[in-house]
Structures are given as structure tokens and as C-alpha cells.
A and B are shown apart, each in its own frame.
Chain A
């Protein structure tokens, strides 16, 4: 597949804003997506482990983690939609080809994700309070849920890798010159790469536990031995998990295709390793400080930044492959600037997204920290009213502009 063919596959409609914007949003939202995936996988695994354990601390943790997992699956899905949108905008030739060539797996992705989520919810429904009840009902559901999530992630992984191999597409589509349109095969994967992305769940959930512990510290009379237990669990998850992830990363870099092998020692690759090491080190360096002020949240924040760097590295590799090897420049996409929809998005995102989410998250946070009924302060109430007013303005402008466009003659 030469560059002219790749360019021919592009959508002739062009893109409605500078391509770089979509690229950056893609990297950023993918980092958020994968962070949620890590929390999901980590929390699910701890749930399973805790639910099979008799130790009361483990059981309490299992309770907390199944709630986390349940929300994390929603968040992972919602945050997955965003990179899914942006990847189609500037990488359409690659994304669509990769998907069509494994069409059944794409359908399987949806199906398995439904199974996994339902199983998670079933497990949650069956075990409303593991803390107080010694017996766990149907831990198999949780195990199966994790297995389905891993398959789902693997399908995403294969689609991402297939994108990067245009030189193989024709061979996959028409082996021996005969078209096979069944879409039944996954054609390319790299276990090191997949292992790296999945293994990051261990350090990420460790960092999450540190933050969880800090959150509990904010409440009155928390059980000190539970807090100590959480910490004892979190630290090795971060250190050992982090080392394993780095080892897999090295394996991935060592198995890169010949034509991009030099990426292993590139700027993005090195800074990724540095950031991951930093994220692993931070909780150990802070050590005692983790209990004071907001420091307990710092490690997760550093971890989130590290994941953004991982996302940027992943993008840089895609760039090195598609541009460096195949001559496709995602940034020279034809531009059909559309000011209205571009500005409308950013306004909605900043104003409504900002105001409303700030309100909702403030209320959730405060309610979680309050024992009994939380009564919002006038300040918080004002935030809520502002959010609602902005939503109303949005809805009004939707109809005002729409009716004007449609019926003004």
C-alpha cells in the first residue's frame, strides 16, 4: 500500500478544524480512557482477590473496590468514546481498514463488553456487603468479568496494531489473491505491547489506593489498622507492578518492526521511561508526607501525567510508523474550517462541562465526606444554578439558530 493509496482513502470532506487539534485531543482523551481502564482492571482484580479472602480488611477493601470498578467501567466507556471519535477524524484510512478486516471481532468487542459489564453488575448485586458477610456469592462472575474485559482490551489492541501495518493489509484482505471478506480474523498483535498497557493497572491501582487512603483520612475516626493495611498493599503494587510494566515496555521496544526500531531510543521513549520511574518513586519519596495536607493525592496526579506521556509516546510511534515509514502525514488533512461548530464545542466543553461538572463533583465529594445529610452552602448552590442556566442557554440557542437556519427562507 503506497502513500497515494493511503491518501486516496481519506474522506474528501476534509476536517472542520486544524488536524493537530484532533491529534492532541485524541492523545489526551486516550490517556484518560486508559487511566480509567487501569482503575477498572485493578479494582476488579482486588475485588476478586478480596472476595476470596477471609481477612476483614480484605473484605472491606473488596466492597470499596467493587463500587469503584462499577463506576470505572462506565467512566472507561465514556472516556473511550472520545478517542474513538478523534481517531476516525485524522486516521480514517487506517482505523476503518483495520476495523473492517476484523469486523467480527469489532462486533465481538461490543458483545464481550456487554457481558463483562453485566457480570460485574451481577457480582455487585449478589454481594452488596462483603464487609459484613463472610461468604462471597459467585466469585466466578467477577473472574469472568475480568476475562471479558481483557478480551475487549485485546481486541482494541489488535485493531491499534493492525492500523500500523498497511503493507500487510492486502495480504490479509485477499490472501493468495482471493478476497476473504469475512472479517473473522485478528491479524496482528504484540503481546509485549498489550502486556505493557495491561500491567500498568498494578501501579495505577496502587496509586489509586494511596489516594483512597487519603480520602478516608479526611473522615473522622477511621480505623487506623485498615489504613495501614491499604498502605501496605499499595506500595508493592506500585513498585513491583511498576518494574514489571517497565520490563514489558523494554520487551515491546525490543520487538518493534525493523523499520521503526530506532524509536526505542527516541526522545518520547526515554521520557516515557523517566516519567514512569518518577511516578513509581513519588509515593516512596513522599512517604510520611502522604498523610499531611493534600499530598496523599499527589502520587495519583503524577501517575496521570505519566499516562499522558505514555499516550504521547504511543502517538509518536504511530507518527514514526505512518509518516516515517509509509509517508502518510495526518496533519496535512484537507481543512474545511467550520467556525460555528468548532467554537460551539469549545464553549460547551469549557463553560457547560466546566461549570456543571465542577458543581456535580463538588456535591459528590462533600456528600461523601459528610456523615449524615449534606446541606449545600449558598456558594455551591450558586454553582448549581449557574450550571442549569448555562444548559438552558444552550438549549435555547440550539432551537433559535436551528429554526432560523431551517425556516428563515
Chain B
């Protein structure tokens, strides 16, 4: 049998699964980076505190630590597996690819994670209960373990964009998948911004300090940390960009709305301005100001950042071989993985998918619309909402066209051939293209379906025949402009 292992799809018509995943990921980035940053900051403060005999530093650790415990460790450690869970339901084969390549790396990270969690409780609860040297040892252990969790994860994240080394596909194996230019560039940039986030979030605690002299001292240190790390982060960005695959560069140039770049730059400059404020007016720092700054970073900085990382790797979702819509697009001889495109070309989604209603495997005039919907769910909904809300609503790309044959021509010309660069090749069979076209047309005008059925049942032996065009000259969609067009930029967002 020609089966390919596509899972059921989760398609959420309201906000769209993409946003849910993005939201969880963004929150987790904040928590986890703050956790690692704060761990290193703690280690440093514990060192200073004991070296110069400054109990207020140790007190701060206790205070910030308690806050951090809730903020980062509890929430960070829930949203961490939360990302697994959310990508599981949003892109099961994507997470599966990461798990099956890197399970041991994740297991290794888990060892550090256990140490980290034990460590953070000890940092908080053993203040003053153990001798200095011991406390310092705990602090150093904690800081190093925390840093190691980040090291362990970063190569997996960069594999989502591309395999570490180009010859991974040929040779396979963990090392070539994990390590590469992009891994190190990403690591460097993450470390920089991790300190930025630590400095911002740290402000929430600093704001509450009663001792004004100490508050000033610490707020200034955090401000310097914030400014330096932000500047380093910005200056590392070109290096990071240069390590992205060519495909991603093009996508970023064409598909990311211009204001994203501006927004991010503005946020970074605002961040520096914010730190300049806390540097010169440390006493004016209040918890609400610091809280607001944290929230702004989250909404204005991290979310677009995550979105870009998400969009830039399109049409792939992992390792440059797995499409967003879960189809394996290329052979990976090093891992004896075979492309699934030939199977789809041979028998189509309707016959290759495991999760396909039996009544929809053969397409008839009467079930065409339903098959079209199932196809849209399976092949498109990972990146396009099928309703009017959510990520990249699909109807918007067809500008209200209701001419089934025209849409079908487009689907066969631009999608089935893989001629749309940032989209997967979606090898639709002729009848599948017609079914999908009917469904897409019905999004603009539901009555199309009844007419289609009526027209075609009369000529049941000529199922290719479709409805005459409805006037759509005024539309601006790529499909309408040219009968078959290959849009490479423009319409999105």
C-alpha cells in the first residue's frame, strides 16, 4: 500500500492553532531566558556578596530567587513541556523529527534541568543556613547547569531552521544535525538577549528594594548589563542572518511585513533608552515601570521575533526536509528517509493518508466539496486559516473568485508543481485539485457548491466540467490577474 504517515490535523477556526503555539512559545522564551540569565547573575552576586562581605547581595538573591522561582521555574518549566505539547498538536511530525534526531540531547538537557530545579530551591532556602564556601559552590553549580540547559537546546532549535551541517542529509547522525554556523550564531545572540531580559525582569525586584543606596547600586549594574547586552545582541544580528539558509533570506525579504523590522529595531532602541533611564534615575524605578517594560519586550520584541523565526523557515518546519504541512519533501539518505512527494503524485492525499474518511477516498460530484475541505485541512491549514480570522486566512488569497476551473488551474499550475517558493509543493491529483478548488470557491460563495453539483450531475460522465466563471474582473488576487500566476511576494499580512 502507498501510505504516508500523516496524522490527523488540529485545525482551530477561531484564533488558529498557529497563534496558540506562538503565544506559548513566546512566553516560554521569556521565562526560560530569564531563568538562565538570572542563574548566572545570582552566581556572580553570590560571589561578590561573599568576597566583599555584603549580606545585602545575598538578601537580594533570596528575594529575587523567590520571585524567580515562581516566575521562571514554575512557569518556565510548565511552558517548556508546554511547547512540546503545543507543537505536538500543531505539528506532530515536526516535533517528532526533533525528538527522533535529538532524544538523547533532550534527555541530557533534562539532567541539567533536574540539577537546576534542585539548585534554585537550595539557593533560596539555604541562604544563611550553610557556610559561605558551600553556598558559593551551590551557586556556581546552579549557574553552570542552567547555562548547560541552554547549550543543549540551541542546536535543536537551529535544526528547525536547517540542519547544522549541509552534509547531514547525506550522512545523518546527531552531530551533523546539531552543530553548525547557525547553532553558534544563535547561541551567541540568545546569550546576549538573555541578559537583556534578565536586566529588565530583575528591575521588578530591584524596584521594591527599600535601601536606596543599594537600590541605586544594583539598578545601575542591571542597566549597564542591559545596555551592553542589547548592543552586543544587535551587533550579532548580521552574523546570525548570514548563517540562515538562502531560502530563509528570501522569505525574510519578501514575506515579512516591513514594519516587523522597524518594530524590532524600535523595541531595541527603546530598551536601551529604558536602561539609560534606570541608569541615570535609578531611584525612579518602580515595579510597575519594570513590569510594563517586561510586558513590552514580550509583546513588541519577542513575539515578532518568534514569528519571524517561524515564518523564515517556510515551507519547511524542520531540517529542510519536512514541510509545514507534514509531508516529507526530500530524501534524507543519511537517515534512510524517503521523500513522500512521489507517493502523493502517484495516488494523492486521498489514498495515501492514513487518516482519511473511507467515504472520501474516491471523489465524486457529491462529495467533492467535503473532500476539498478535508484536503484544505490536511494540506493547507497548518499555515492558513480556513476562516476569516487566524493566521493568513486562505480566502484572502483568492479575492472572492468563485470560478472553480480557474482556481483549479492555479492549484495545478502553481502548487502541484511546487512553483510557489515559500509554499510546499502540494502534488494534487486532478480530481483533488478540482475538489479543493470547489471548497475554496465556496468560501467566497457557498452557493457555488449546489450549482456545481447540479451542473455536473447532468454530465456525470464528465466530472472535469466546471461552472462558468462568475464575474471577478475586479479582484486583485493573483489567480484573477493572470490565469495562472506564481506569486512570490506581496499579499500576506
Contact = CB atoms under 8 A, between A and B. Distances in A.
> Are these two chains actual partners, yes or no?
yes
Contact of A78 (B79, B114, B137): B114
Given A10-B5, A363-B138, A367-B129, A74 B73 contact: yes
A381 interface: yes
18 contacts: A14-B335, A85-B107, A86-B103, A107-B85, A110-B85, A110-B86, A181-B8, A340-B175, A341-B105, A341-B175, A344-B104, A356-B115, A361-B118, A387-B141, A402-B183, A405-B165, A406-B180, A406-B181
Contact of B128 (A13, A82, A373): A373
Contacts of A110: 24, 78-79, 81-82, 85-86
Interface string B354-390: 1101111000000000100110010001000000000
Given A89-B99, A345-B104, A367-B129, A402 B179 contact: yes
B187 to A, nearest CB: 9
Interface in A41-96: 71, 73-75, 77-78, 80-82, 84-86, 88-89, 92-93, 95-96
B274 interface: no
B174 to A, nearest CB: 4
A397 to B, nearest CB: 11
B104 A338 contact: yes
A74 B69 CA distance: 10
A342 B104 contact: yes
Interface in B156-175: 164-165, 172-175
A374 B130 contact: yes
A298 interface: no
Contacts of A99: 85, 88-89, 92
Contacts of B335: 12-14, 336
B85 A106 contact: yes
A402 B181 CA distance: 10
A80 B175 CA distance: 27
Contacts of B74: 73-74, 77, 117-118, 121
A89 B128 CA distance: 44
Given A338-B173, A395-B151, A13 B373 contact: no
Contacts, number: 305
Contacts of A85: 99, 103, 106-107, 110
A138 interface: no
6 shortest interchain CB distances as A-B pairs: A103-B89, A103-B10, A96-B92, A341-B104, A181-B11, A8-B3
Interface in A377-409: 380-381, 384-385, 387-388, 391-392, 394-395, 398, 401-403, 405-406
Given A336-B172, A341-B104, A14 B137 contact: no
B118 A374 contact: no
Interface in B378-437: 381
Interface majority SS (helix, strand, loop, mixed), chain A: helix
A344 B173 CA distance: 14
Interface of A: 1, 4-5, 8-17, 22, 25, 71, 73-75, 77-78, 80-82, 84-86, 88-89, 92-93, 95-97, 99-101, 103-104, 106-107, 109-110, 113-114, 117-118, 121, 169-170, 173-174, 177-179, 181-183, 334, 336, 338, 340-342, 344-345, 348-349, 352-353, 356-357, 359-361, 363-364, 367, 370, 373-376, 380-381, 384-385, 387-388, 391-392, 394-395, 398, 401-403, 405-406
A8 B337 CA distance: 13
A86 B110 CA distance: 12
A402 B354 contact: no
Interface string B310-336: 000000000000000000100010011
Interface in B175-226: 175-176, 178-181, 183-184
A394 to B, nearest CB: 6
Nearest to A179: B374
B111 A349 contact: yes
Tell me whether chain B's interface is mostly helix, strand or loop, or mixed.
helix
A169 B115 CA distance: 40
Contact of B174 (A341, A361, A381): A341
Nearest to A175: B357
A11 B100 CA distance: 7
A356 B176 contact: no
B97 interface: yes
Nearest to B75: A114
B148 A78 contact: no
Given A376-B131, A387-B141, 9 more contacts: A9-B354, A13-B100, A80-B81, A92-B100, A110-B82, A173-B8, A182-B13, A338-B104, A402-B184
B101 A71 contact: no
Q: Looking at B20, B89, B174, which has the most chain A CB atoms within 10 Å of its CB?
A: B89
Contact of A395 (B148, B359, B373): B148
B104 A398 contact: no
B99 A106 contact: no
A177 B6 CA distance: 18
Given A74-B117, A106-B86, A107-B20, A13 B357 contact: no
B247 interface: no
Contacts of B470: none
B140 interface: yes
B50 interface: no
Contact of A8 (B73, B172, B354): B354
Given A85-B99, A391-B144, A406-B165, A8 B104 contact: no
Contacts of B70: 118, 121
Contacts of B8: 97, 100-101, 169, 173, 181
B277 interface: no
A179 B118 contact: no
Q: Which of B74, B95, B358, B370 has the most CB of A within 10 A?
A: B74
B117 A78 contact: yes
A295 B436 CA distance: 70
Interface in B135-152: 137-138, 140-141, 144-145, 147-148, 151
